[in-house]
Amino acid sequence: MPTVLITGCSSGFGLEIARYFLARDWNVVATMRTPRADILPPSPRLRVLALDVTNSESIRRAVEEAGPLDVLVNNAGFGLAAPSELTPLAAVREVFETNTFGTIALTQAVLPQFRQRGAGVVVNVTSSVTLKALPLIAAYSASKAAVNAYTESTAIELAPFGVRLCLVLPGRSPESRFRENAQRHGLEHEAYADLVNEVLARFADTASPITHPQDVAEAVWRAATDPSAPMLIPAGADAQAWAAEAGGLH
């Protein structure tokens, strides 16, 4: 029975991905900063582990406790909304520390076992904002775009060893807690008031296509289980539309 380790399982996409794999009889190692077993269906195939992807010792312990893995899903991350000129550098470093460096650090910790075994899949969940420039999320977009580039390059290196790396790019998902968990800086500045109001109205629009957590879980499942899946998989109707505009990805 294959085993998947998923980060950021306390809510949103990570929680839905964990449920999806559990329902398909996989062994699931669901990780979160503060472990909560009560949010997932009870199962002998489920383990909930503490993991802070910004802490090297936490990564070492989690990988050791998880044991042999078949798939790693890097989903942990948070948002950052701010005009670029008003974004504190400390906030930029923090979003990169989790979204980018945390993903790289955990991937580096798992890749040796995949390479030595000659099998394994890494699925990195980034964002469709890497396909289309949007205002007020420059640092966040950059942190996710960096993961895209890292994944594409690393995939070339690991392909001779039978290891695959894939990207799942979700769109806007009002059902997740992304907006509530995002850091905000400078949104009240009068120079950016009109732009902020326009962006917030667009985000609250319920008529436009959106991404559901199930869309992301299905895309991650495809990336993990289908060797013929493309490296970049947009998840959600809006993400798929943007991908088509950006060059016809499917």
Q: Which residues are catalytic?
A: 140
State the DSSP H helix or E strand holding residue 30, giving kind and residue range, or none if neither.
Answer: strand 27-32
Q: CA–CA distance from 91 to each of 52, 204, 212 (Å)?
A: 17, 25, 28
Q: d(Cα 97, Cα 91) in Å, to the nearest integer?
A: 10
Q: d(Cα 79, Cα 122) in Å, to the nearest integer?
A: 22
Please report, as a single letter, which amino acid is at residue 30. Answer: A
How far is C-alpha 245 from the chain's CA centre? 22
**Local structure of 27: helix, strand or coil:** strand
Beta bridge partners of 72: 5, 122
